Protein backbone atom coordinates (compact mmCIF):
# COMPACT_ATOMS: atom_id res chain seq x y z
CA UNK A 1 0.00 0.00 0.00
CA UNK A 2 1.34 3.42 -0.99
CA UNK A 3 -0.45 6.76 -1.05
CA UNK A 4 0.55 8.67 -4.17
CA UNK A 5 -0.28 11.96 -2.61
CA UNK A 6 1.49 11.88 0.75
CA UNK A 7 3.75 8.85 0.53
CA UNK A 8 2.07 7.05 3.44
CA UNK A 9 2.76 3.31 3.55
CA UNK A 10 1.26 2.58 6.92
CA UNK A 11 -1.71 0.29 6.35
CA UNK A 12 -3.39 1.51 9.52
CA UNK A 13 -4.11 4.82 7.81
CA UNK A 14 -5.92 3.34 4.82
CA UNK A 15 -9.70 3.05 4.89
CA UNK A 16 -12.35 1.97 2.39
CA UNK A 17 -15.12 4.30 1.22
CA UNK A 18 -18.70 3.29 0.34
CA UNK A 19 -17.62 2.35 -3.21
CA UNK A 20 -15.07 -0.04 -1.72
CA UNK A 21 -12.22 2.19 -2.86
CA UNK A 22 -9.16 2.73 -0.68
CA UNK A 23 -8.43 6.18 0.61
CA UNK A 24 -5.64 7.56 2.79
CA UNK A 25 -6.57 9.06 6.13
CA UNK A 26 -3.16 10.60 6.64
CA UNK A 27 -3.66 13.27 3.95
CA UNK A 28 -7.46 13.40 3.78
CA UNK A 29 -7.63 17.04 4.92
CA UNK A 30 -5.52 18.20 1.95
CA UNK A 31 -8.16 18.20 -0.74
CA UNK A 32 -8.17 21.59 -2.49
CA UNK A 33 -7.43 22.50 -6.10
CA UNK A 34 -4.01 21.96 -7.60
CA UNK A 35 -2.16 24.87 -9.20
CA UNK A 36 -1.92 25.14 -12.98
CA UNK A 37 1.52 25.51 -14.48
CA UNK A 38 2.17 29.17 -15.23
CA UNK A 39 3.60 30.26 -18.57
CA UNK A 40 6.72 32.29 -17.93
CA UNK A 41 7.05 35.62 -19.70
CA UNK A 42 10.36 36.80 -21.01
CA UNK A 43 10.53 39.94 -18.93
CA UNK A 44 13.24 41.66 -16.93
CA UNK A 45 12.87 41.71 -13.17
CA UNK A 46 14.79 43.97 -10.85
CA UNK A 47 15.56 43.94 -7.15
CA UNK A 48 14.98 47.11 -5.17
CA UNK A 49 16.21 47.34 -1.61
CA UNK A 50 16.34 50.53 0.43
CA UNK A 51 19.14 49.18 2.60
CA UNK A 52 22.33 47.32 1.86
CA UNK A 53 23.46 43.91 2.97
CA UNK A 54 26.35 43.52 5.38
CA UNK A 55 29.57 42.18 3.78
CA UNK A 56 28.91 38.77 5.34
CA UNK A 57 25.31 38.72 4.14
CA UNK A 58 26.58 39.61 0.69
CA UNK A 59 29.06 36.77 0.69
CA UNK A 60 26.34 34.30 1.69
CA UNK A 61 23.92 35.75 -0.83
CA UNK A 62 26.44 35.11 -3.62
CA UNK A 63 27.18 31.61 -2.39
CA UNK A 64 23.48 30.70 -2.37
CA UNK A 65 23.06 32.00 -5.92
CA UNK A 66 26.10 30.09 -7.09
CA UNK A 67 24.77 26.92 -5.48
CA UNK A 68 21.37 27.31 -7.12
CA UNK A 69 22.82 28.09 -10.55
CA UNK A 70 24.84 24.88 -10.34
CA UNK A 71 21.67 22.91 -9.56
CA UNK A 72 22.45 22.13 -5.96
CA UNK A 73 20.25 22.19 -2.90
CA UNK A 74 21.41 24.46 -0.14
CA UNK A 75 21.05 24.65 3.64
CA UNK A 76 21.80 27.96 5.33
CA UNK A 77 22.38 27.93 9.08
CA UNK A 78 22.08 31.61 10.04
CA UNK A 79 21.73 32.72 13.66
CA UNK A 80 18.63 34.57 14.91
CA UNK A 81 18.83 38.14 13.66
CA UNK A 82 21.31 37.42 10.86
CA UNK A 83 18.82 38.68 8.28
CA UNK A 84 18.01 35.34 6.68
CA UNK A 85 15.30 36.42 4.26
CA UNK A 86 17.51 38.94 2.49
CA UNK A 87 20.07 36.23 1.77
CA UNK A 88 17.88 34.66 -0.91
CA UNK A 89 16.83 37.80 -2.80
CA UNK A 90 19.64 37.60 -5.36
CA UNK A 91 18.85 33.96 -5.98
CA UNK A 92 15.15 34.76 -6.44
CA UNK A 93 16.10 37.50 -8.90
CA UNK A 94 18.36 35.14 -10.82
CA UNK A 95 15.58 32.55 -10.98
CA UNK A 96 12.95 35.05 -12.14
CA UNK A 97 15.17 36.35 -14.93
CA UNK A 98 15.74 32.80 -16.10
CA UNK A 99 11.99 32.11 -16.33
CA UNK A 100 12.07 29.86 -13.30
CA UNK A 101 9.13 29.30 -10.98
CA UNK A 102 9.83 30.57 -7.48
CA UNK A 103 8.16 29.46 -4.24
CA UNK A 104 8.83 30.51 -0.65
CA UNK A 105 7.24 28.39 2.06
CA UNK A 106 7.11 28.57 5.85
CA UNK A 107 5.25 26.49 8.43
CA UNK A 108 3.17 29.33 9.87
CA UNK A 109 0.60 31.54 8.17
CA UNK A 110 1.55 34.65 10.19
CA UNK A 111 4.98 34.54 8.61
CA UNK A 112 3.49 34.36 5.09
CA UNK A 113 1.38 37.43 5.85
CA UNK A 114 4.39 39.27 7.24
CA UNK A 115 6.57 38.28 4.28
CA UNK A 116 4.25 39.43 1.50
CA UNK A 117 4.76 43.22 1.73
CA UNK A 118 8.53 42.81 2.05
CA UNK A 119 8.78 40.62 -1.06
CA UNK A 120 6.46 42.91 -3.02
CA UNK A 121 8.63 45.93 -2.28
CA UNK A 122 11.79 44.07 -3.25
CA UNK A 123 10.43 42.65 -6.52
CA UNK A 124 8.28 45.37 -8.05
CA UNK A 125 7.75 43.75 -11.49
CA UNK A 126 6.86 40.35 -10.07
CA UNK A 127 3.41 39.02 -9.40
CA UNK A 128 3.68 38.02 -5.74
CA UNK A 129 0.88 35.92 -4.29
CA UNK A 130 0.19 34.37 -0.90
CA UNK A 131 -1.48 31.03 -0.34
CA UNK A 132 -2.58 29.82 3.08
CA UNK A 133 -5.59 28.33 4.88
CA UNK A 134 -8.50 30.60 4.08
CA UNK A 135 -6.61 32.41 1.34
CA UNK A 136 -6.25 30.19 -1.73
CA UNK A 137 -8.29 31.69 -4.60
CA UNK A 138 -5.22 32.62 -6.66
CA UNK A 139 -2.65 29.86 -6.97
CA UNK A 140 -0.28 31.10 -9.68
CA UNK A 141 2.25 33.92 -9.72
CA UNK A 142 5.92 34.70 -10.29
CA UNK A 143 6.70 34.33 -6.61
CA UNK A 144 4.37 32.14 -4.58
CA UNK A 145 4.48 32.61 -0.80
CA UNK A 146 2.76 29.77 0.98
CA UNK A 147 2.45 27.71 4.12
CA UNK A 148 3.87 24.21 4.04
CA UNK A 149 0.25 23.04 4.41
CA UNK A 150 -0.46 24.36 0.88
CA UNK A 151 2.46 22.64 -0.84
CA UNK A 152 0.26 19.69 -1.84
CA UNK A 153 -1.29 21.92 -4.52
CA UNK A 154 2.07 22.23 -6.27
CA UNK A 155 3.23 18.91 -7.61
CA UNK A 156 6.67 18.90 -9.30
CA UNK A 157 6.28 22.65 -9.64
CA UNK A 158 9.02 24.88 -8.22
CA UNK A 159 12.38 25.41 -9.90
CA UNK A 160 13.43 27.26 -6.77
CA UNK A 161 11.68 26.42 -3.52
CA UNK A 162 12.82 28.27 -0.43
CA UNK A 163 11.82 26.99 2.98
CA UNK A 164 12.31 29.04 6.11
CA UNK A 165 12.05 27.62 9.63
CA UNK A 166 11.91 24.00 8.53
CA UNK A 167 12.54 23.12 12.16
CA UNK A 168 9.33 24.80 13.37
CA UNK A 169 5.95 23.39 14.24
CA UNK A 170 3.92 22.04 12.45
CA UNK A 171 6.37 21.19 9.64
CA UNK A 172 9.06 19.71 11.85
CA UNK A 173 8.87 15.91 11.96
CA UNK A 174 5.56 15.98 10.07
CA UNK A 175 5.77 13.12 7.61
CA UNK A 176 3.02 14.35 5.28
CA UNK A 177 4.23 17.96 5.07
CA UNK A 178 7.82 16.86 4.53
CA UNK A 179 6.63 14.64 1.68
CA UNK A 180 4.67 17.51 0.10
CA UNK A 181 7.79 19.65 0.24
CA UNK A 182 9.91 17.10 -1.59
CA UNK A 183 7.18 16.51 -4.19
CA UNK A 184 6.73 20.22 -4.88
CA UNK A 185 10.35 20.65 -5.95
CA UNK A 186 11.11 20.43 -9.65
CA UNK A 187 14.54 22.07 -9.40
CA UNK A 188 16.29 22.79 -6.11
CA UNK A 189 15.55 23.99 -2.64
CA UNK A 190 17.16 26.52 -0.32
CA UNK A 191 16.53 25.84 3.36
CA UNK A 192 17.01 28.60 5.93
CA UNK A 193 17.18 28.03 9.66
CA UNK A 194 18.61 29.48 12.86
CA UNK A 195 18.29 26.09 14.51
CA UNK A 196 18.60 23.46 11.75
CA UNK A 197 17.73 19.84 12.44
CA UNK A 198 20.57 17.32 12.43
CA UNK A 199 18.77 15.25 9.80
CA UNK A 200 18.55 18.20 7.39
CA UNK A 201 22.28 18.91 7.73
CA UNK A 202 23.07 15.24 7.26
CA UNK A 203 21.01 15.01 4.08
CA UNK A 204 22.75 18.04 2.57
CA UNK A 205 26.21 16.76 3.42
CA UNK A 206 25.51 13.21 2.20
CA UNK A 207 24.25 14.48 -1.16
CA UNK A 208 27.26 16.79 -1.58
CA UNK A 209 24.92 19.77 -1.69
CA UNK A 210 25.75 23.19 -0.25
CA UNK A 211 25.96 23.82 3.50
CA UNK A 212 26.50 27.45 4.49
CA UNK A 213 26.68 29.16 7.88
CA UNK A 214 26.25 32.74 8.95
CA UNK A 215 27.12 33.01 12.64
CA UNK A 216 26.91 36.77 13.07
CA UNK A 217 23.89 39.02 13.36
CA UNK A 218 23.57 41.64 10.62
CA UNK A 219 24.54 44.38 13.11
CA UNK A 220 27.62 42.36 14.05
CA UNK A 221 26.94 42.36 17.79
CA UNK A 222 26.87 39.01 19.62
CA UNK A 223 23.78 37.00 20.46
CA UNK A 224 22.52 37.56 23.98
CA UNK A 225 23.70 34.77 26.28
CA UNK A 226 20.87 33.83 28.69
CA UNK A 227 21.39 34.26 32.40
CA UNK A 228 20.36 31.01 34.07
CA UNK A 229 18.90 31.20 37.56
CA UNK A 230 18.41 27.87 39.26
CA UNK A 231 16.27 27.82 42.36
CA UNK A 232 13.86 25.08 43.35
CA UNK A 233 11.57 27.31 45.44
CA UNK A 234 11.77 30.99 44.64
CA UNK A 235 11.22 31.29 40.90
CA UNK A 236 8.29 33.66 41.28
CA UNK A 237 10.27 35.94 43.50
CA UNK A 238 12.95 36.21 40.82
CA UNK A 239 10.30 36.79 38.19
CA UNK A 240 8.85 39.69 40.15
CA UNK A 241 12.31 41.08 40.79
CA UNK A 242 13.14 41.24 37.07
CA UNK A 243 9.70 42.51 36.12
CA UNK A 244 10.13 45.35 38.59
CA UNK A 245 13.58 46.11 37.24
CA UNK A 246 12.37 46.28 33.62
CA UNK A 247 9.33 48.29 34.60
CA UNK A 248 11.60 50.92 36.15
CA UNK A 249 13.69 51.14 32.98
CA UNK A 250 10.57 51.11 30.80
CA UNK A 251 11.62 48.10 28.73
CA UNK A 252 9.02 45.79 27.18
CA UNK A 253 9.14 42.22 28.50
CA UNK A 254 7.97 38.86 27.21
CA UNK A 255 7.39 36.22 29.89
CA UNK A 256 7.34 32.73 28.44
CA UNK A 257 5.54 30.02 30.40
CA UNK A 258 5.16 26.38 29.36
CA UNK A 259 1.41 25.85 28.88
CA UNK A 260 -1.72 27.77 27.90
CA UNK A 261 -3.23 27.17 31.36
CA UNK A 262 -0.12 28.54 33.02
CA UNK A 263 -0.22 31.61 30.76
CA UNK A 264 -3.61 32.54 32.16
CA UNK A 265 -2.86 31.78 35.82
CA UNK A 266 0.49 33.51 35.61
CA UNK A 267 -1.09 36.61 34.12
CA UNK A 268 -3.69 36.66 36.89
CA UNK A 269 -1.06 36.61 39.61
CA UNK A 270 1.28 39.13 37.94
CA UNK A 271 -1.44 41.60 37.00
CA UNK A 272 -2.27 42.18 40.68
CA UNK A 273 1.10 43.92 41.05
CA UNK A 274 1.95 44.98 37.52
CA UNK A 275 -0.51 46.92 35.40
CA UNK A 276 -0.12 47.54 31.64
CA UNK A 277 0.16 43.88 30.73
CA UNK A 278 -1.72 41.22 28.81
CA UNK A 279 -1.33 37.62 27.72
CA UNK A 280 -1.38 35.64 24.48
CA UNK A 281 -1.40 32.01 23.41
CA UNK A 282 -2.38 30.08 20.31
CA UNK A 283 -6.07 29.93 21.30
CA UNK A 284 -6.47 33.59 22.14
CA UNK A 285 -8.67 35.04 19.40
CA UNK A 286 -7.50 38.66 19.49
CA UNK A 287 -3.84 37.72 19.79
CA UNK A 288 -2.71 39.62 16.65
CA UNK A 289 -4.18 42.83 18.00
CA UNK A 290 -2.60 42.31 21.42
CA UNK A 291 0.81 41.65 19.87
CA UNK A 292 0.48 44.77 17.71
CA UNK A 293 -0.52 46.85 20.73
CA UNK A 294 2.47 45.46 22.59
CA UNK A 295 4.75 46.50 19.72
CA UNK A 296 3.25 49.98 19.86
CA UNK A 297 3.97 50.23 23.58
CA UNK A 298 0.44 49.91 24.90
CA UNK A 299 1.54 47.09 27.18
CA UNK A 300 4.75 46.83 29.14
CA UNK A 301 4.68 43.06 29.37
CA UNK A 302 3.03 40.05 27.79
CA UNK A 303 2.75 36.60 29.28
CA UNK A 304 2.99 34.15 26.39
CA UNK A 305 3.14 30.51 25.40
CA UNK A 306 5.64 29.38 22.78
CA UNK A 307 3.47 31.10 20.14
CA UNK A 308 5.90 34.05 20.27
CA UNK A 309 8.98 31.86 20.20
CA UNK A 310 9.81 32.96 16.64
CA UNK A 311 9.36 35.85 14.29
CA UNK A 312 8.87 38.80 16.66
CA UNK A 313 11.17 41.79 16.60
CA UNK A 314 10.57 44.47 19.23
CA UNK A 315 12.98 47.23 20.15
CA UNK A 316 14.55 46.97 23.63
CA UNK A 317 12.76 43.72 24.34
CA UNK A 318 13.74 41.72 27.44
CA UNK A 319 12.80 38.06 27.87
CA UNK A 320 12.09 35.89 30.90
CA UNK A 321 11.52 32.16 30.47
CA UNK A 322 9.68 30.85 33.51
CA UNK A 323 10.41 27.15 34.09
CA UNK A 324 13.00 27.05 31.31
CA UNK A 325 13.68 23.47 32.40
CA UNK A 326 10.19 22.32 31.38
CA UNK A 327 10.33 19.52 28.81
CA UNK A 328 8.32 21.65 26.36
CA UNK A 329 11.48 23.66 25.68
CA UNK A 330 14.10 21.86 23.62
CA UNK A 331 17.37 23.60 22.88
CA UNK A 332 16.06 25.01 19.56
CA UNK A 333 13.10 26.62 21.30
CA UNK A 334 15.39 28.17 23.91
CA UNK A 335 17.72 29.50 21.20
CA UNK A 336 14.82 30.95 19.22
CA UNK A 337 13.33 32.59 22.33
CA UNK A 338 16.71 34.08 23.27
CA UNK A 339 17.05 35.27 19.68
CA UNK A 340 14.15 37.72 20.20
CA UNK A 341 16.43 40.02 22.19
CA UNK A 342 18.88 42.56 20.77
CA UNK A 343 17.72 42.38 17.17
CA UNK A 344 17.77 46.09 16.36
CA UNK A 345 20.88 47.82 15.14
CA UNK A 346 20.28 50.70 17.58
CA UNK A 347 19.19 48.38 20.42
CA UNK A 348 21.38 45.31 20.11
CA UNK A 349 21.64 44.64 23.85
CA UNK A 350 19.18 43.25 26.39
CA UNK A 351 18.63 40.45 28.85
CA UNK A 352 17.37 36.90 28.60
CA UNK A 353 16.62 35.25 31.94
CA UNK A 354 16.06 31.51 32.27
CA UNK A 355 14.32 30.74 35.56
CA UNK A 356 14.44 27.06 36.36
CA UNK A 357 14.27 24.58 39.20
CA UNK A 358 17.18 22.58 37.83
CA UNK A 359 19.55 22.58 34.90
CA UNK A 360 19.05 20.19 32.00
CA UNK A 361 20.60 19.21 28.69
CA UNK A 362 18.38 21.52 26.59
CA UNK A 363 19.54 24.55 28.58
CA UNK A 364 23.17 23.46 28.46
CA UNK A 365 22.99 22.73 24.74
CA UNK A 366 21.33 26.08 23.97
CA UNK A 367 24.06 27.94 25.89
CA UNK A 368 26.82 26.02 24.11
CA UNK A 369 25.36 26.82 20.67
CA UNK A 370 24.83 30.50 21.45
CA UNK A 371 28.37 30.89 22.81
CA UNK A 372 29.78 28.97 19.87
CA UNK A 373 28.08 31.34 17.42
CA UNK A 374 29.41 34.31 19.42
CA UNK A 375 32.97 33.07 19.01
CA UNK A 376 32.65 34.14 15.34
CA UNK A 377 31.83 37.77 16.15
User: Judged by CB, which is closer to Zn ion: 12, or 272?
Assistant: 12
Shortest Å distance, C-beta 107 to Zn ion: 19
Cα separation, 118 vs 132, whole angstroms: 17
Shortest Å distance, C-beta 156 to Zn ion: 17
User: Judged by CB, which is closer to Zn ion: 28, or 138?
Assistant: 28
Those residues whose C-beta lies under 8 Å from the C-beta of residue 24, and which sit 6 or more positions away, are 3, 5, 6, 8, 13, 14
DSSP-assigned letters across all residues of 226-262: PEEEE-SS-HHHHHHHHHHHHHHHT--EEEE-SSHHH
For the packed helices 331-338 and 361-374, what is the interaxial angle rounded to 10 degrees? Answer: 50
User: Judged by CB, which is closer to Zn ion: 179, or 284?
Assistant: 179
Sheet arrangement for strand 185-193: 128-131, 143-147, 102-106, 158-164, 185-193, 74-78, 210-214
Residues 184-243 that bind Zn ion (CB under 5 A): none
Cα separation, 73 vs 209, whole angstroms: 5
Shortest Å distance, C-beta 184 to Zn ion: 15
User: Judged by CB, which is closer to Zn ion: 6, or 35?
Assistant: 6
User: Judged by CB, which is closer to Zn ion: 175, or 241?
Assistant: 175
Residues 2-21 that bind Zn ion (CB under 5 A): 3, 5-6, 8
Shortest Å distance, C-beta 179 to Zn ion: 8
Shortest Å distance, C-beta 135 to Zn ion: 24
Cα separation, 26 vs 231, whole angstroms: 44
Residues 19-48 that bind Zn ion (CB under 5 A): 24, 26-27
Shortest Å distance, C-beta 236 to Zn ion: 47
User: Judged by CB, which is closer to Zn ion: 26, or 100?
Assistant: 26
User: Judged by CB, which is closer to Zn ion: 170, or 297?
Assistant: 170
DSSP conformation class of 20: S
User: Judged by CB, which is closer to Zn ion: 14, or 45?
Assistant: 14
Cα separation, 173 vs 40, whole angstroms: 34
User: Judged by CB, which is closer to Zn ion: 175, or 376?
Assistant: 175
Shortest Å distance, C-beta 158 to Zn ion: 21
The footprint of Zn ion on this chain (CB under 5 A) covers a number of residues equal to: 7
Shortest Å distance, C-beta 180 to Zn ion: 10
Shortest Å distance, C-beta 32 to Zn ion: 14
Residues 101-140 that bind Zn ion (CB under 5 A): none
Q: Is the CB of residue 62 less than 8 Å from the CB of residue 87?
A: no
Answer positive or negative: Cα dihedral of 146, 152, 154, 157.
positive
For the chain, strand residue ranges (E) read: 14-16, 22-24, 74-78, 102-106, 128-131, 143-147, 158-164, 185-193, 210-214, 227-230, 253-256, 277-280, 301-304, 318-322, 352-356
Cα separation, 363 vs 328, whole angstroms: 12
Q: Is the CB of residue 172 less than 8 Å from the CB of residue 166?
A: yes
Q: How many CA atoms lie within 13 A of 3 on its CB side?
A: 25
Binding site for Zn ion (CB under 5 A): 3, 5-6, 8, 24, 26-27
Amino acid sequence: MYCNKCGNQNIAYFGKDKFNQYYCRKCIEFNGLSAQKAIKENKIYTLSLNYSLSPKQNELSNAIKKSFSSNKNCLVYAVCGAGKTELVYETILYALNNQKQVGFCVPRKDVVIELEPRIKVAFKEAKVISVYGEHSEVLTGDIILLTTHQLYRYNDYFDLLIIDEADAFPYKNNFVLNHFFKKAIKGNYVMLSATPLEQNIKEIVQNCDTYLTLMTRYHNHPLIVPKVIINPFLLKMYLFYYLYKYKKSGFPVLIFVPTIEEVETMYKSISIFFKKGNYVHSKKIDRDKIINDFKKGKYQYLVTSSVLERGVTIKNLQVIVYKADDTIYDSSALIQISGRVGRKIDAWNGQVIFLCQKNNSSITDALIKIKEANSYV
